[in-house]
Amino acid sequence: VSVKDLVQASIDRIEEVDHNIHAFLTINEEKALKEADILDEANDAEKGLLYGLPVGLKDNIITAGTKTTSGSQMLKDYSPAFDATVVTRLTNAGAITIGKCNMDEFAMGSSNENSSFFPTKNPWDTKRVAGGSSGGPAAAVAAKEVFFALGSDTGGSVRQPSAFCGVVGLKPTYGLVSRFGLVAFASSLDQIGPITKSVEDNAYVLQAIAGHDNMDTTSAKIAVPNYLSSLQGDIRGLKIAVPKEFLGEGVDEGVRQRIHEALATLEKLGATWEEVSMPHVSYAVAAYYILSSAEASANLARYDGIRYGRRSPHATTLEEAYKFSRSEGFGDEVKRRIMLGTYALSAGHYENYYEKAQKVRTLIKEDFENILTTYDVIIGPTAPTTAFKLGEKTKDPLTMYANDLLTIPVNLAGNPAISIPCGFSEGLPVGMQMIGKPFAETTLYKVAHVYE
Ligand code: GLN
């Protein structure tokens, strides 16, 4: 097949199914077909690792000349002048951006219902959520609209929608993938990660996007390992830790069963597992919402109605330009986080909230370090439930927040984690999460590939 055929097949598939799924906000048909023509002329030496593969990008990943809304009315008409580093790297590897995928506004949410445009539906059951905040990218891959997608993960936003949609999602170690050109939510937690159909595909995509970038000061200066060669080998002697807190109260019976079955399979393949305790993870959700909201309140200060993004047509003074642009441009969840974050950082409250949350973050990081000196990987479910019904959790933000209790600790610690499909519960996909040592994506891929 030619690249043009691949691109056309992706566009046709989107036309066929996306009116039911709503994974896409923008489709790049003309530009993608043009790029395909050019790639079809390439000689073998010029063909990159992802040659000709159609990709969908979460709409907080900046694309030159293509709208990047971050799921918000604030950036509804924002067409950036540059590409994110990951986009440049994908293009260099030969991938073709088919379009931009739906997401919760500014990546704040777990169900895609906070998108200011429309919610993405779960391809397995369209009455259910695709997960969030990278629900669009995960649904697009699950519905075979694109070969792979990129999402971002601040507290689980790559892994949880991947679990809900039955695909593979990786949150790389903090600093492995450049954040340059990612619309900032909480900069000390945000990472871009690949969402794919298989573990092997995931390793290919990470290979193309990982590695140091001068444009991101938090980018790690490490030599990128060969992820593709980590897809070989066996897991005899592998030591797995299963935190009892990950299979405790609130985890559905069906999810728990699938994880135990997966552990039995891994045992048959030569691994051993033991129950451990991570005493501080129960404080992770509380600490995360203080820290991520504090960072968000600072990051989102740039949307002032002056520099870029929405400017209210009703404003007559500078003060009104700030006030009206932000009132009209941000949705309820974003406003909630800005208020929470501003409060947590304010004089008189800082010590009680922000500083305390930072201390909790350190304790959680130490929990991971301690366990991962004895064990190679930590395993548990990605989410306590399978995909829930649209509207089920929208009335109470706290129940929505609680859905992330298994993914959030990993962002606070910075470690890599992958979610892979491990069977079904009542017809819906269950995701298994594997957490590794910093920069040990190779171990995660090895284990996930053997299991798969
Ligand atoms: N659901 C979490 C939140 O709303 C995580 C989101 C994310 O990872 N971007 O903050």
Find out whether the beta carbon of 134 lies less than 6 Å from any atom of ligand 1: no
Find out whether the beta carbon of 400 lies less than 6 Å from any atom of ligand 1: no
Which of 58, 113, 133 best tests ligand 1's pocket when mutated (most atoms within 8 Å of CB)? 133
Taking the model in full, what pTM does it have? 0.98
- ipTM of the shown complex: 0.98
Cα–Cα distance for residue pair 164/260, rounded to 1 Å: 18
Neighbours of 226 (CB within 10 A): 11
User: What CATH architecture is 3-230?
Assistant: Alpha-Beta Complex (3.90)
Q: Look at residue 45 in the predicted model and tell me its pLDDT.
A: 86
Find out whether the beta carbon of 111 lies less than 6 Å from any atom of ligand 1: no
Find out whether the beta carbon of 108 lies less than 6 Å from any atom of ligand 1: yes
Is a pLDDT exceeding 90 seen at residue 272?
A: yes
Neighbours of 361 (CB within 10 A): 24
152 CA closest ligand 1 atom index: 9
Q: Which of 102, 244, 96 is nearest to 161 (CA)?
A: 102
Amino acid 361 reads R
Find out whether the beta carbon of 190 lies less than 6 Å from any atom of ligand 1: no
Can you say whether the dihedral through the CA atoms of 65, 68, 69, 74 is positive or negative? negative
Q: Which helix (H) or strand (E) holds 360?
A: helix 356-374
Active site residues: 58, 133, 157
Cα–Cα distance for residue pair 174/233, rounded to 1 Å: 26
How is residue 164 written in tokens?
A: 């809900």
What is the mean pLDDT of the segment spanning 155-177?
A: 98
Q: Is residue 200 exposed (0-12), middle (13-18) or buried (19+ Cβ within 10 Å)?
A: middle
Q: Look at residue 376 in the predicted model and tell me its pLDDT.
A: 98
Indicate the range of 17-26, 208-217, 227-236 predicted with least confidence: 227-236
Strand partners, 27: 99
3-state class (DSSP) for residue 435: strand
What does the pLDDT look like over 403-450, one tens digit per residue?
A: 899 999 999 999 999 999 999 999 999 999 999 999 999 999 999 999
153 CA closest ligand 1 atom index: 8
How is residue 319 written in tokens?
A: 């003060």
What does the pLDDT look like over 10-43, one tens digit per residue?
A: 999 999 999 999 999 999 999 999 999 999 999 9
Q: Look at residue 35 in the predicted model and tell me its pLDDT.
A: 97
400 CA closest ligand 1 atom index: 1
Which of 58, 72, 129, 157 best tests ligand 1's pocket when mutated (most atoms within 8 Å of CB)? 157
Please tell me the distance between residue 315's alpha carbon and the centre of ligand 1 in angstroms.
Answer: 32
Q: Look at residue 260 in the predicted model and tell me its pLDDT.
A: 98
What does the pLDDT look like over 360-395, one tens digit per residue?
A: 999 999 999 999 999 999 999 999 999 999 999 998
